[in-house]
Chains A and B, each alone.
Chain A
């Protein structure tokens, strides 16, 4: 039996019963789409149109449509790739790492955060694939024999590690998310009225009935998946950082990259979770589930990871000086004072100063301020990747090949387009799937009630009545003592 702490803040407010949880979460799925959702979807679809147009231009006319030049061969595409992958990491952190640490507050946000992970990885994958120029040859990245000879893929290359990391990460996250969804699909299935909904949710729910044996296995599977996803999520951004760190480019060739990138990923990911949750809780009236406490806790994680990122920036600078490598020192001086100083200033302000505001309780508990902060962090983390990639490349060893980068409209179009792709997927998810994990929230409901029912003896005649106290979840009258 669970210990109920009298001092702990409730995880779910409003004295919800189990049935209330079902009602509140299924309301959105069962109702006809509302006007705000349709308006949001239209905007997202418009941006998705921009994406398709930009992709068409890229594929038809070639990579020359982008602003890349012979010095800066990686720019917005890889910036966006790393940005999106990083955003995805918060979802896995919430669903896996917080599960292992038994942080029960994760239950009301993990579903949407995991969805965010999957959609963010889809957006991320667009960039390396499009950068290939000929995506129909994308299978070349897999270790298949070359069609002309018997040459295999190069397993020493971090870019190949990335292929394995991202595809494993995507498929494992998808399976983790779907397995969590199955019991909730069963709930919707058993409530469904329309014939299409009945069949659709029956198919999706895989015949789940909630038997004790299945739940037992389900919990085992969740735990193992969480245990395996935790090192996986760390490995993914480590490998992403190795795309840079294993090169000899000054500004990239640093051993600090893996932990620094992982912290940055979680930082930006939590910012995106906050942005999405703050909107979702209002639009779908889920304020009792995603409470101000959740927001404060996420703010704290953002502050910790943001501070780690800040320390990493300073460490990089120190090492550049301490190493006494001329090129390394120049790379960093150039970052701060060179032609891209404004990007560097954006990064420093948004990522180092902004999260420190969260030390103030008033900021942490303020919804409008949190929303603004989360947007600023998202912008700052985009600039971080831009700074790392473009300012390191634009002036390296050979001054005669120094250059500047300016994006074309197609660069902008693809980036904005992936935001449209992301929101199209997220809005469809939010309408047709349960945005909150009902089963897990129900399981922690009692944990939150300060005077929850306590069942002490085995003799049913001495049962403490479960429905006498305020806010007790199982408040439906239990009428077994009528037989006394």
Chain B
């Protein structure tokens, strides 16, 4: 399905930040903002909810910890108990290092895999972008438009809020 976008190009992140607030106040729905680096405060301006990835990370870590403890206690305590160094079969202090490492391992990889999955980031042969300068030095505000959109008014709003250019682009797959 082909989508049509109006692109407001901004030169500075502070101008963009306030433009996002003003454009949203003017009742225009912003499709997405593309920037070369993270801008602090844009989450609030765009109304992006706080990511729940930390919660996911916590539970992945908990899984790792439980798995590590289960593995060590089962293997050395029940499946094949052996006396090593005159210590009890289930010598918990000696299990701390491996438990910690597996907590970290599960936490990190679980969170990162979740991040790539929910963000739909995976290797692609070709990556279509709305404006190639958005990974270099321009801040691009994309607004989805159709035949009924009043482009003159939209252009004026973007220009008034500091856009240095207003372009249009059609994307077949985006």
A-to-B contact residues, CB < 8 Å: 1-2, 17-19, 22, 143, 150-156, 158, 160-161, 164-165, 167-168, 171-172, 175-176, 179, 182-183, 186-187, 189-191, 198-199, 202-221, 224-225, 228-229, 231-232, 235, 239, 242, 438-440, 442-443, 453-455, 458, 460, 463, 466-467, 474, 476-480, 483
The secondary-structure label for the interface of chain B is helix
Instruction: Give 18 CB contacts A-B under 8 Å.
Output: A164-B101, A167-B105, A172-B109, A186-B135, A191-B132, A206-B116, A207-B121, A208-B121, A216-B51, A218-B38, A220-B51, A221-B53, A225-B108, A225-B112, A229-B108, A235-B101, A439-B38, A476-B11
> A209 contacts B34, CB within 8 Å?
yes
CA distance A190 to B145 in the complex (A): 25
The proximity string for B residues 109-132 relative to A, scoring 1 for CB distances below 8 Å and 0 otherwise, is: 101100110111111111101101
CA distance A171 to B102 in the complex (A): 12
B75 at interface (Cβ–Cβ under 8 A)?
Answer: yes
- Interchain CB contact (< 8 A) of A205 among B22, B32, B102, B127: B127
> B102 contacts A164, CB within 8 Å?
yes
Rounded to whole Å, the gap between the CB of B48 and the closest CB of chain A is 5
- Interchain CB contact (< 8 A) of B36 among A156, A224, A439: A439
CA distance A165 to B103 in the complex (A): 11
> A190 contacts B37, CB within 8 Å?
no
Q: Beyond A155-B95, A228-B107, A439-B38, is A207–B43 a contact (Cβ under 8 Å)?
A: no
> B11 contacts A161, CB within 8 Å?
no
Rounded to whole Å, the gap between the CB of A325 and the closest CB of chain B is 21
B1 at interface (Cβ–Cβ under 8 A)?
Answer: no
The proximity string for B residues 50-64 relative to A, scoring 1 for CB distances below 8 Å and 0 otherwise, is: 010110010001000
CA distance A477 to B37 in the complex (A): 20
- Interchain CB contact (< 8 A) of A212 among B48, B116, B124, B136: B48
- Interchain CB contact (< 8 A) of A443 among B37, B41, B71, B95: B37
> B14 contacts A186, CB within 8 Å?
no
> B125 contacts A455, CB within 8 Å?
no
> A202 contacts B124, CB within 8 Å?
yes
- Residues from chain B with a CB closer than 8 A to the CB of A225 are 108, 111-112
The proximity string for B residues 1-21 relative to A, scoring 1 for CB distances below 8 Å and 0 otherwise, is: 000000000011111011101
> A155 contacts B72, CB within 8 Å?
yes
Pick from B12, B43, B100 the residue with the most CB of A within 10 Å: B12
Kindly identify, within residues 25 to 48 of chain B, every residue whose CB is under 8 Å from any CB belonging to chain A: 32-43, 46, 48
> B79 contacts A155, CB within 8 Å?
no
> B79 contacts A150, CB within 8 Å?
yes
Q: Beyond A190-B135, A224-B111, is A216–B127 a contact (Cβ under 8 Å)?
A: no
Interface size class of B (residues with CB under 8 A): 35 or more
Rounded to whole Å, the gap between the CB of B115 and the closest CB of chain A is 5
- Residues from chain A with a CB closer than 8 A to the CB of B136 are 18-19, 22, 187, 190-191
> A211 contacts B33, CB within 8 Å?
yes
CA distance A237 to B108 in the complex (A): 19
Q: Beyond A19-B137, A463-B15, is A190–B132 a contact (Cβ under 8 Å)?
A: yes
